[in-house]
């Protein structure tokens, strides 16, 4: 499958990875891998089953046996539509805790590789370019100031009908950045050869256009 093109989009929480990845995939007619959703699904399952967040073995078992499916923008866990449920901040924060366990990451490894199908894939997350698809045709590291990201997340949560508080969000975002950046395994860092794009003052469509331009240049 190494001939099938992959674009990786990694970056911190609320940098716009998901939104940009979606639009780039739509534009190119490529498949999409929201790798964060896999960690969020594992986290949701752990919360619901009251699994201890320090029990690496039990958490890896959950990850290994996830019964998931993606249809368009919707995510299903054992046939239940959990698209909105996995977007709660509690689930994101739990996801970032369990994502630090090597055996949880290992359990999700093969599943992620399976998304590489013709005509191509856009994959977003933390380690798409560094660990999962190191041979990707284009690697992007999307970032933005923590204030810009907190504001984006705030608007998103309110729009989904969740309650949100700017001060708590800023604190949670910083804690999550810290955990994702400083963990021993698959930490959040730009991949070798990645194009870094700071979108603090950039509209979504500008970011999408930049990624498409880089891809066109890389595909030549
Ligand atoms: O996937 P990630 O957590 O990186 O971010 P997201 O879920 O795509 O959310 C980013 C939010 O900020 C979305 O509501 C976007 O519309 C908005 N936004 C953006 O993504 N990029 C910009 N340049 C400006 C706003
Ligand atoms: O949307 P947001 O950027 O907040 O988070 P996400 O991409 O849905 O991922 C949730 C959490 O899962 C992150 O904070 C990471 O700790 C973890 N994750 C990871 O470790 N590796 C990935 N490839 C994707 C997500």
Ligand closest to CA 155: 1
Per-residue confidence band for 73, with pLDDT thresholds at 50, 70 and 90: confident
What's the mean per-residue pLDDT of the chain?
95
Does the residue 105 lie in any domain?
yes
Which runs of consecutive H residues, i.e. helices, occur in 49-161? 56-64, 89-98, 102-113, 146-159
Measured in Å, residue 49 CA sits from the centre of ligand 1 at 30
Task: Give mean pLDDT, residues 13-39.
Answer: 96
Pick the residue whose CA is nearest to atom 6 on ligand 2.
36
Does the residue 206 lie in any domain?
no
Q: Is the CB of 176 under 6 A from ligand 2?
A: yes
Nearest to 47 by CA among 89, 88, 81, 91: 91
Measured in Å, residue 13 CA sits from the centre of ligand 2 at 7
Measured in Å, residue 19 CA sits from the centre of ligand 1 at 5
Cβ-Cβ contacts under 8 Å for 157 (sequence gap 6 or more): 87, 89, 163, 164, 169
Work out which ligand 1 atom sits closest to the CA atom of 34.
1
Measured in Å, residue 88 CA sits from the centre of ligand 2 at 13
Ligand closest to CA 92: 2
Least confidently predicted of 34-48, 102-116, 175-189 = 175-189
Which structural domain, as residue segments, surrounds residue 164?
A: 6-199
Number of domains present in the structure of the chain: 1
Task: Give mean pLDDT, residues 194-219.
Answer: 96
Does the residue 10 lie in any domain?
yes
pLDDT tens figures, 123-165: 999 999 999 999 999 999 999 999 999 999 999 989 989 889 9
Does the residue 193 lie in any domain?
yes
Q: Is the CB of 96 under 6 A from ligand 2?
A: yes
Does the residue 183 lie in any domain?
yes
Residue 2's pLDDT is: 83
Does the residue 134 lie in any domain?
yes
Per-residue confidence band for 77, with pLDDT thresholds at 50, 70 and 90: very high
Does the residue 220 lie in any domain?
no
Cβ-Cβ contacts under 8 Å for 174 (sequence gap 6 or more): 146
Using a cut of 0.80, tell me whether the model's pTM lies above it: yes
Nearest to 123 by CA among 108, 105, 138: 138
Pick the residue whose CA is nearest to atom 19 on ligand 1.
16
Does the residue 136 lie in any domain?
yes
160: domain CATH number is 3.40.50.300
pLDDT tens figures, 174-201: 998 999 999 999 999 999 999 999 999 9
ipTM of the complex: 0.96
């Amino acid at each position: 499958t190494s001939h099938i093109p992959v674009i990786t989009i990694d970056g911190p929480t609320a940098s716009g990875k998901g939104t940009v990845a979606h639009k780039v995939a739509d534009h190119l007619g490529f498949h999409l891998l929201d790798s964060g959703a896999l960690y969020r699904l594992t986290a949701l399952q752990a919360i619901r089953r009251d699994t201890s967040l320090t029990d690496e073995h039990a958490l890896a078992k959950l990850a290994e046996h996830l019964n998931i499916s993606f249809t368009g923008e919707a995510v299903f866990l054992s046939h239940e539509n959990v698209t909105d449920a996995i977007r709660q901040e509690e689930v994101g924060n739990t996801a970032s805790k369990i994502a630090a366990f090597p055996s949880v990451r290992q359990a999700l490894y093969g599943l992620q590789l399976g998304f590489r199908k013709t005509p191509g894939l856009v994959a977003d997350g933390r380690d798409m370019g560094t660990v999962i698809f190191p041979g990707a045709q284009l690697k992007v590291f999307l970032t933005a100031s923590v204030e810009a990201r907190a504001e984006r997340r705030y608007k998103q949560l309110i729009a989904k009908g969740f309650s949100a508080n700017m001060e708590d969000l800023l604190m949670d975002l910083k804690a999550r950045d810290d955990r994702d950046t400083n963990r021993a395994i698959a930490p959040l860092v730009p991949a070798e050869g990645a194009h870094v794009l700071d979108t603090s003052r950039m509209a979504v469509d500008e970011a999408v256009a930049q990624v498409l331009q880089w891809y066109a240049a890389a595909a030549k």
